[in-house]
Amino acid sequence: MRRDNIVLRSLAQIGDCALFLLRILAAIPRSLRHVRETVRQLWFVGAMSLIIIMVCGLFVGMVLGLQLYDVLSIFGGTSATGTVVAIAIYRELGPVVTALLFAGRAGTSITAEIGLMRATDQIAAMEMMAVDPIAYVAVPRFLAGVIAMPLLCCVFCALGIFGGHLVGVSWLGIDNGTFWSNMTASVELVKDVINGVLWKSVVFGTVVSLIAVFQGYTTPPTSEGVAYATTRTVVASSIAILALDFVLTAFLM
């Protein structure tokens, strides 16, 4: 097949990626015996991403609180700051920003690690020891990403709302009771939390983990190949997250 055309090449990559997803799904039962490896990966991609997620969540919430207070004060509606901060974070900023940060922090490390394992023949060595690298290397990292993303998103949202509260209530003087009561009255469990935080973050976690593992697994075994694969993980993940965000929002609204 000719792959010199960029459109054909991109379509072929998406097709290869979809086939790779089928291989991963088929290998999940075989990888159940590697639960310890999945837990280890969960630590690397989840727990080790906590700091960046928490710090970014806090600042996003603080900036949001500041901007909204400024705009809402024009209309005398500063009491709605908490509501708008929460809805913005739950529906969009929480899942999207967490996924973008996750792609940059965990996705790149997954790609680089698997790419280097291929470049140094570790994947081939597993094949030679009759150990399926898809079940041992790819699936644990993929599952860890799918599990970690919603959890990280929850942490991001919590810290974001805390940041909004910090600026709105503690700094700018919005009434604490008004901030929380308006928020709890306006935020809906299904529409905002489940559709926003849960579904979006599960889909984004799946896509980012798949792209990261696929890029690492199929990278040419050279230092340049690993570098390009790592870059492709960030670029492809970012585009996929933003495009899917539109599609999901359209369907879930």
Partner 1 sequence: MTDSVSAKPEDSTLVRVRGLTTVLNGKKVFDALDMDIPRGKITAIMGPSGTGKTTLLKHITGQMRGDAGEIVVDGQNVSSLSREKLFELRERIGYLFQNSALLTDFDVFENVAFPLRQHTKLPEVLIRNIVLTKLQAVGLRGAAALLPAELSGGMARRVALARAIVFDPMLILYDEPFVGLDPIALNQVLKLIRTLNQTLGITSVLVAHELEAIKRVADHIYLIANGKVVAQGDPKTIANDGSPWTRQFFGGEADGPVPFQYPAGDYAASLGFPRGNP
> Interface residues with partner 1 (CB under 8 A)?
116-117, 120-122, 124-125, 127-132, 136
Least separation in angstroms between CB 118 and partner 1: 11
Which structure tokens are listed for 28?
């999940």
Least separation in angstroms between CB 5 and partner 1: 22
Question: In terms of CB distance, is 44 or 162 closer to partner 1?
Answer: 44
CA distances from 7 to 3, 90, 161, 214 (A): 9, 35, 42, 19
Question: In terms of CB distance, is 32 or 125 closer to partner 1?
Answer: 125
224-233: long-range contacts (C-beta < 8 A, 24 or more apart)? 225/115, 225/119, 226/111, 226/112, 226/115, 226/116, 226/119, 229/111, 229/112, 229/115, 230/108, 230/111, 230/112, 230/115, 232/111, 233/103, 233/107, 233/108, 233/110, 233/111
Least separation in angstroms between CB 128 and partner 1: 4
Question: In terms of CB distance, is 70 or 121 closer to partner 1?
Answer: 121
Least separation in angstroms between CB 130 and partner 1: 4
Question: In terms of CB distance, is 26 or 55 closer to partner 1?
Answer: 26
